[in-house]
Structure 1
Amino acid sequence: MDKPSWIRVWEAKIPPKLKVFVWQILNRDLPTTETLIEKKVEVLPRCPVCWDGPETMEHLFLYCLVARALRDYSGLEYLGEGLPRHTFHLFLKRLLALLHQLSVVMAVVAILWTIWRSRNRVVFEGKQFVIPALMRQFNQQYEEWVGLLADQAPRVQIPMMQSTTQVGNSHLVCMWNGATKGGSHSAGGMVLFDPARTLLLARGVKFSQMDDPVVVELLVLREAIIWCMEQGLSEVRFEDDAKVITDKINQADTRDSRLGAVLEEIGHYFRTRPGFSMRFVGRENNRVAHLVARKALSLYPTMSRFFDFQTWLVSRV
């Protein structure tokens, strides 16, 4: 087995039995009906979950209706684009070698484990699956594992400026932007640059039942501020093309009944952090954050937090 592939799994904060499970897949030793038939065990060759084809690992983890539903729900359907899929253990081996974020590795394993566990319940317990319930199981499993990762792993470190009093180009720059669709849901994008405009981080967020563009822009700004604070940043200039919001923040204007509470919260962040500032920029100068916002919107209603916005953005700009 390729060392980089296995290292990804070994470093992930998942139970040992899950590491054995992935090891079985990578070594073509998972007891699917195809494997059992090869070992002269008499079993029905059809997929016990959907009955739409033989139960190979390729079918079970890539093409079965459960696999497709979970990939779409998780927002990870983009993973593995361009990799050959005719042999799943090789596909997974190459995919794992390409992944750099342990949280994404854990999400992939959570999908595979949810599929396999639902399959076994059908085979051994005669229990029928319900897609929404499987999605909840996947989400619960992933949240538990990523919580362990957050507890044990150090926070992402970003190079900081030596002085906390300098302004202008000495600041890190966080560009942010909102996007809405169909009056029912919305999303936002935020991108962090160093003073030389080198991309450091990118993130997308989403909101349900939110269709007011100004409110969405303000909520994205709040998320961007909290995101920067979570990274331990003390000098950030926030840039966006929403002049009405930039003016309200810079003028400490909280009179708008729609925005008052959020404006007050954001104003508090700026008042207590002298290194935080706001600047209006035109749409063309905010193009990168706009790209991230539109991508986050396209992932709705999947969990865009699993999407590697930074890697995707590097391929686009």
Structure 2
Amino acid sequence: MRVSELIDPITKDWDVGKLTRCFMERDVGLIRKIPVAPTFTDSWCWRDDTNGQYQVRHGYKLMVSVQDSGHPVSFAWKDLWRLKIPPNILNFVWRCIHGVLPTMVTLASRRVDVDTMCHLCKQHPETLRHLFLDCIHVQALWDSAPLMQIASDDDFVDCFSKWLAMADGQIVKSCIAACWIIWKHSNALVWNSKVWLLSSLKHDITHTLIAWEEGLEHAVPPLSAMTTVDSHLCEEQGTVCIFVDASVFHDSGDGFFRAIIKDNAGAYLAAKNGPLRCIGDAFLGEAMTVKEALSWAKERGDNKVIIYSDCQIVCRWFSGMTRDLS
């Protein structure tokens, strides 16, 4: 039976007799509430739009309002999108929230033949929660982070929701930066056999936060690009430019500095190198290199000095243009 057969061809309305014979009393009442318009041609329409027209934002709104894996996908996306972080990092967070980041447990759930144990501790399955928060090799990264509100049975989506609820953009960005660096270093360990060093992770997290804070437009050019002296900075007679760089070896903790002095015309004057006691800390090594260069300049009697460094973070620290996020 077609719907048209339930409509009286004379009155152009529902045939109550047929409805009574075919349906229960309750259903008859519901059907009669549906307006009949036989003169209109049937067409598709989107019920959540007053004009019946589908738009991508309508589908997105519907998608984020349904339940997924026991979580309301109506996650605080607006709060997340307001954060001033690169698009690829936002995509990374999106993948984490939707459970599609390829951790070992996620890969195994998609029938990929992999060992689900964490490649760092070898003791627990590598879930998002374990990799980013619970593994003994990452816990030290969260010593100063506000994790007291995270319950032991919270999964990663719960944790991230609580971070956003703190309404502190800097805290949220710090948590995201930590997760991003942990993910990058974990992949480097698995695919490139890179040594896992906590000091290296802390270095990269701090560098990442400052890059997000100030933008790449403030980046200091690398030492290899600083082959000429900026004449507008060295116009005053007697000014010297010192180019400095540090090398730190995380496996041994050893560090070394090197410095080259040029006059205001760019001519070579002197060079120096030596060891540093920076205990494997790259930032400390770069800062101590500047100290060594200034001490050397004082010994030489150079009173007008411009320092060139390829470390953006140290330059920001010395110029006072950024906060200390270490």
TM-score category by the smaller chain?
0.3 to 0.5
Larger RCO of the pair (alpha carbons < 8 Å, separation 6+): 1
TM-score, structure 1 normalization = 0.43
Larger radius of gyration: 2
